Amino acid sequence: MYGKEIMKMLEKVGGEGLKEKINAIPLWIYLGAGTVVSCSLYIKYKWSYWERRNISGPPPSIYTIGHTAKIFGILANDKIAVDWIDEYGKIFGIYCGLEPAIFINDVDMLKEINVRQFSKFSSRKSPFVNTVVGPLSKDFMTNLDGHKWKRVRQTTMPTFSALKLESMCPSFNNSAKITISEMLQDGTRLNVRKLTEKYSMRAVLSSAFSLDASNPKEMEEAGKHGLAILGGETPLWKLICLSLVPERVRFFFNMTIYPSKTDKWLRNLFQMLLNDSEKRKMTGNERVDFTSQMFNSIIPDKDEFNKLVTKGVTKNEILSNSLITIVAGYDNVASSVQVILFRLATNPKVQSRLFQDILALDEISYESIKKLKYLDAIIKESMRLNSPATINSRYCTETTEVNGLIIEKGTTVFWHNPYFHRNSNFYNEPEKFNPDRFEGSETNTLQDDYWFGFGQGPRACPGVRWSFVCMKIFIAQLMKKYKIEPCDDTPDDVQLF
């Protein structure tokens, strides 16, 4: 009815010519225009979520897919988050694609989220990036939640026990000695990042897969594949594009950030270790690496989602979490040791005191490095000033109230580590390097309210003790032989990214 009336009006205004022109427009143009308008209105509605909640935040953009590209950018440019906090305060809303997310930089609220209401924030699911590495990433412990996460974590934690870590120390010592002898001489001017990357890759591959750190050919091949897995050569645009491809599609076509030959190498290595493990069980001469230890807890694939099974891991879960050992362990150790060496070079009094502690050790072993409490404090202080991870996140699985703020199911919560680490409300003279500030709490890595080097609460990094042992052994081995000094090219501050 209304359509006919409109056409009559158009005839009066424009005559038959206008009517004919309108009738000549193809139907697909109307459909396309309608779709564009509908999508625009839908996106506008989704991106008004925080405005309707009276929570401010930076305006989303179609060019940055909400704020998705900005979140990726924070990993390389911390200033983005700093500017947001300066403009919008400690709490502000953003969008990961079309889904709402919120930055909460409040100590009490984070304690509520990460500890007291952990059951409602037990997931680290992210709506845009967590499985972009490839199909194996769906079983990363960081991506699991609910019963499956509990089962895998309970099974994995014993591999980081004191006894297991002690058995890994020979591989750490060997990796450190070989790296130092290969790359250093008296008076060497060296890009420290290259040194720490070399050691970190050796330490990770030898402790996770029992690869021989002294075998140049084996290490060279493994190192190439290890770097490929990290995706260091993958451009940011590719990561963003992959994250936008539906997960099922990516998994079906085995789309990964690393080449197929690396995927094949990893699976072949895993199968070799599995076969070798079965043979070694007969002789009692079992390997001590992370992957081989997990073989003792294999459960059938059919029990993957069986809630009656509270311990054990499937073969695919072992492979996946061996992969994340490379992804998480490598960069964390390489970046942290890079910062520590910079701080020691630019703070000679701190270095001298630490050297005396190392000199007092009869040997460098798991038991002896426990005495290096001052080194624990140096590690914490270095990670405070230069956090390897600038942001952490949790995913709300049940609508709840946190200190008066309603957080709805499906919302990702972010927080910015440097906001706390360099805040004068929490640390006296926060820009100053002062390991003594952690005296008495040197080994307190997960219960410190203002230090988020490895996260907070039950969902914090399970490999924190592994990381500390790995870092302490390298620094002790290095300082036994060399004094670390700055050179003309040493920057005023260290840049991790």
Sketch the domain layout of the chain as residue ranges.
135-481
* Of the candidates 310, 345, 304, 362, the residue with the CA atom closest to the CA atom of residue 155: 310
Q: Would you say residue 441 has pLDDT above 70?
A: yes
Q: Would you say residue 22 has pLDDT above 70?
A: no
Looking at 4-13, 313-322, 328-337, 350-359, which range is the least confident one?
Answer: 4-13
Q: Using CA atoms in the order 244, 246, 251, 255, what is the torsion angle rounded to 10 degrees?
A: -30
**What are the two backbone dihedrals, phi and then psi, of residue 396, each rounded to the nearest 5 degrees?**
-80, 120
Pairing, β 412-416 against β 99-104: parallel
Count Cβ neighbours within 10 Å for each residue of 336-372 and write b for 16 or more, e otherwise: bbbbbbbbbbbbeebbeebbebbeeeeebebebbeeb
d(CA 327, CA 463): 12
Enter the DSSP assignment of 58. P
Ramachandran assignment for 146, one of left (phi > 0), alpha (psi -120 to 50 degrees), beta (any other): left
Q: Would you say residue 208 has pLDDT above 60?
A: yes
* 35-50 confidence digits (pLDDT tens): 888 999 999 999 999 9
Q: Would you say residue 1 has pLDDT above 60?
A: no
Write out the two tokens for 177. 């000695």
Q: Would you say residue 376 has pLDDT above 90?
A: yes
pLDDT band at 442 (very low <50, low <70, confident <90, very high): confident
Quick one: CA dihedral 329, 330, 332, 334, positive or negative?
positive
Burial of 452 (0-12, 13-18, 19+ CB in 10 A): buried
* Of the candidates 119, 115, 127, 125, the residue with the CA atom closest to the CA atom of residue 150: 119
For 391, the 3-state DSSP assignment is strand
User: How much of the chain, in percent, has pLDDT values that exceed 90?
Assistant: 58
pLDDT score for 7: 55
d(CA 297, CA 471): 28
* 123-136 confidence digits (pLDDT tens): 876 545 567 888 98
pLDDT score for 468: 96
pLDDT score for 78: 78
pLDDT score for 398: 95
pLDDT score for 124: 79
* 385-420 confidence digits (pLDDT tens): 998 889 999 999 999 999 999 999 999 999 999 999
Q: Would you say residue 313 has pLDDT above 60?
A: yes
d(CA 161, CA 153): 13
Q: In sequence order, what are the residues at sequence separation of 6 or more whose Cβ sits closer than 8 angstroms to the Cβ of residue 360?
A: 371
- How many Cα atoms sit within 13 Å of 458 on the Cβ side? 17
With contact defined as beta carbons under 8 Å apart, do 312 and 155 qualify?
Answer: yes
* 228-266 confidence digits (pLDDT tens): 887 666 776 777 778 778 888 888 888 888 888 999 999
pLDDT score for 239: 73
Write out the two tokens for 306. 């069986």
With contact defined as beta carbons under 8 Å apart, do 40 and 380 qualify?
Answer: no
Taking all residues of the chain, what is their mean pLDDT, rounded to a whole number? Answer: 88
pLDDT band at 339 (very low <50, low <70, confident <90, very high): very high
For 415, the 3-state DSSP assignment is strand
Q: Would you say residue 496 has pLDDT above 80?
A: no
Q: Would you say residue 345 has pLDDT above 80?
A: yes
pLDDT score for 19: 60
For 428, the 3-state DSSP assignment is coil
Strand partners, 237: none
Token pair 């564009």 is found at 36
Strand partners, 37: none
pLDDT band at 12 (very low <50, low <70, confident <90, very high): low
R_g of the chain, CA atoms, integer Å: 27
Strand partners, 395: 123, 412
Query: Per CATH, which fold does 135-481 belong to?
Result: Cytochrome p450 (1.10.630)
Whole-prediction pTM value? 0.89
User: How much of the chain, in percent, has pLDDT values that exceed 70?
Assistant: 92
pLDDT score for 236: 67
Write out the two tokens for 297. 């807890």
* 55-106 confidence digits (pLDDT tens): 999 999 999 989 988 988 887 777 899 999 999 999 999 999 899 999 999 9
